[in-house]
C-alpha cells in the first residue's frame, strides 16, 4: 500500500516537471514572424509586407513600399521638383547640379536618386456634407468623382491607398497596385453621414502613419479646407509638417462656394484655402483650386508627373542638432557652378524653379548617451 502510494507520488512529480518545462513553438519558427488577426475596425494605413497564409494567389508584382525598422543617424531627405517658369519639368539633372543649403550653409549630398520613380501615395479625401443649403452632400459626391479621376493618371507600378474623413478618419483601402480595388472602394461610399470634417486630425494621423515608410511618399489631399471638429489645432499640424518628409498635394474642392455664393465665400473660406496652400508649400507640394470640372484631368496628370519626377536628395547636416527648425534651400547649378538658366524657343533665358520642403526640425543632441 505504501509502495504503491510512493510510486504514484513519483509519477505525479515527473508529470508536473514535464508540464513546467517551456517548449519552442516549432510551427512558429518555421513560419517566421506571425501577424495578429486583423481587427474589426479598419487599421491605420500601413504598407502590406506579406501575404496572409490562406490568401488566394495573386499576380506577380514588385514588393510593396516597406516600413523602415532601424532608425538611421541624423539624415535629412529632400524630394525636389524642378521646372521652368512655365511649369514644365526639368529632367536629366545630376547630383553635381544640386546645391543644398541648411540655414544658409552648403551641405554635402550623400545620396542622390534621379526622377521617374514609382509613386507611393495616400488619397486622403474629405467625405462629409460640409457647408449648408444646396451644397449639402455635394462635396462628398465631387470627392468621389475626383479621386476616381486621379487613378487614371497612375501607372501599374504605383502604390496607392484610400482614406476618407468626416467625423473621423477611415481606411477604405490599404496600399495596393490594383487600381480597381481603390475604384471599387470609392464607388461603395454611401451618402455622407456627417457635416463635420476633421481635416487636422486626418492629416496628422496620416503623416504619422507614413513616417517610417521608405522611399518617396506623398498625400493627395482632396478637401474643402474647412476643419470643424479636430482634436488637433493648426499650430500642432504646422509643427508636425516641419518634421515630415511626406509631400502633400492639395486639391481644393470648395471653389463653388466663392463662385456662386452672394458676395463671395468670405473670410472663413479664404482661411480654409490658406490652410491647404500652407500644407502643400511647407512639404514641397502644390495646391490647386479648380473651379470647373474640365480642369481636373490636367491637374491630376500634373500631380502624377510631379510625383514621379521628384529628385531625392539626402544629406547629413553639418549644422547643430539643436532641436530647432532649420530652413532648407535647394539651388540648381550649371556645369560651371552658376545658377542654371534655360533658353526657350524664342532665345529668352528662363529661371529654373525648385519646389521642395521648406525645412526640417533638427533632433536634440543627446549628451552622455
202 phi, psi to nearest 5 deg: -65, -45
Q: What is the largest CA-CA distance in the chain?
A: 115
Q: Please give the Cα distance from 29 to 48 (Å, whole number).
A: 21
> Where do we find the cell 481636373?
296
Calculate mean pLDDT across residues 116-140: 70
Q: Please give the Cα distance from 321 to 330 (Å, whole number).
A: 20
Q: In the chain, what are the domain boundaries?
A: 76-116+318-361, 120-308
List Cα–Cα distances, 331 to 100, 125, 248, 337, in angstroms.
6, 33, 21, 10
Q: Please give the Cα distance from 197 to 167 (Å, whole number).
A: 6
The helix (run of H) or strand (run of E) holding residue 78 is strand 76-84
CA gyration radius, the chain: 26
Calculate mean pLDDT across residues 46-69: 49
Model confidence at 68: pLDDT above 70: no
Copy the grid coordinates of residue 120: 507611393
Out of 3.40.50.410, 3.30.10.20, 3.40.50.2300, 3.30.572.10, the CATH code matching 120-308 is 3.40.50.410
Query: Does the pTM of the predicted model rise above 0.75?
Result: yes
Q: Please give the Cα distance from 241 to 247 (Å, whole number).
A: 9
More confident of the two residues 42 and 177: 177
Q: Please give the Cα distance from 165 to 184 (Å, whole number).
A: 18
What is the percent of the chain with per-residue pLDDT over 90, rounded to a whole number? Answer: 51
How much is the pLDDT for 15?
43
**pLDDT confidence bin for 350, thresholds 50/70/90:** confident
**pLDDT confidence bin for 189, thresholds 50/70/90:** confident
Amino acid at each position: 500500500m505504501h509502495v504503491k502510494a510512493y510510486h504514484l507520488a513519483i509519477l505525479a512529480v515527473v508529470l508536473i516537471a514535464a508540464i513546467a518545462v517551456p517548449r519552442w513553438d516549432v510551427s512558429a519558427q518555421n513560419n517566421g514572424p506571425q501577424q495578429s488577426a486583423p481587427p474589426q475596425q479598419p487599421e491605420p494605413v500601413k504598407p502590406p509586407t506579406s501575404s496572409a497564409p490562406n490568401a488566394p494567389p495573386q499576380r506577380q508584382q514588385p514588393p510593396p513600399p516597406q516600413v523602415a525598422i532601424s532608425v538611421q543617424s541624423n539624415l535629412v531627405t529632400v524630394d525636389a521638383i524642378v521646372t521652368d517658369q512655365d511649369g514644365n519639368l526639368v529632367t536629366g539633372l545630376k547630383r553635381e547640379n544640386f546645391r543644398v543649403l541648411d540655414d544658409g550653409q552648403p551641405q554635402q549630398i550623400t545620396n542622390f536618386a534621379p526622377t521617374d520613380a514609382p509613386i507611393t501615395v495616400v488619397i486622403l479625401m474629405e467625405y462629409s456634407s460640409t457647408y449648408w443649403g444646396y451644397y449639402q452632400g455635394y462635396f462628398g459626391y465631387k470627392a468621389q468623382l475626383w479621386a476616381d479621376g486621379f487613378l487614371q493618371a497612375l501607372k501599374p507600378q504605383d502604390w496607392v491607398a484610400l482614406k476618407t474623413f468626416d467625423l473621423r478618419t477611415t481606411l477604405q483601402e490599404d496600399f495596393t497596385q490594383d487600381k480597381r480595388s481603390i475604384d471599387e472602394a470609392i464607388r461603395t461610399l454611401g451618402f455622407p453621414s456627417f457635416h463635420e470634417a476633421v481635416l487636422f486630425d486626418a492629416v496628422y494621423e496620416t503623416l504619422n502613419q507614413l513616417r517610417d515608410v521608405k522611399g518617396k511618399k506623398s498625400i493627395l489631399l482632396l478637401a474643402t479646407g474647412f476643419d470643424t471638429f479636430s482634436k488637433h489645432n493648426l499650430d500642432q499640424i504646422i509643427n508636425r509638417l516641419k518634421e515630415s518628409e511626406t509631400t502633400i498635394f492639395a486639391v481644393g474642392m470648395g471653389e463653388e462656394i466663392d463662385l456662386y455664393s452672394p458676395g463671395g465665400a468670405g473670410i472663413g473660406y479664404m482661411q480654409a484655402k490658406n490652410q491647404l496652400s500652407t500644407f502643400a508649400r511647407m512639404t514641397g507640394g502644390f495646391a490647386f483650386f479648380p473651379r470647373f470640372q474640365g480642369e481636373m484631368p490636367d491637374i491630376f496628370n500634373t500631380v502624377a508627373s510631379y510625383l514621379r519626377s521628384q529628385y531625392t536628395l539626402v544629406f547629413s547636416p553639418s549644422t547643430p542638432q539643436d532641436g530647432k527648425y532649420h530652413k532648407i534651400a535647394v539651388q540648381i547649378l550649371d556645369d560651371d557652378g552658376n545658377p542654371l538658366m534655360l533658353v526657350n524657343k524664342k532665345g529668352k533665358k528662363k529661371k529654373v524653379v525648385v519646389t521642395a520642403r521648406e525645412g526640417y526640425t533638427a533632433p536634440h543632441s543627446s549628451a552622455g548617451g
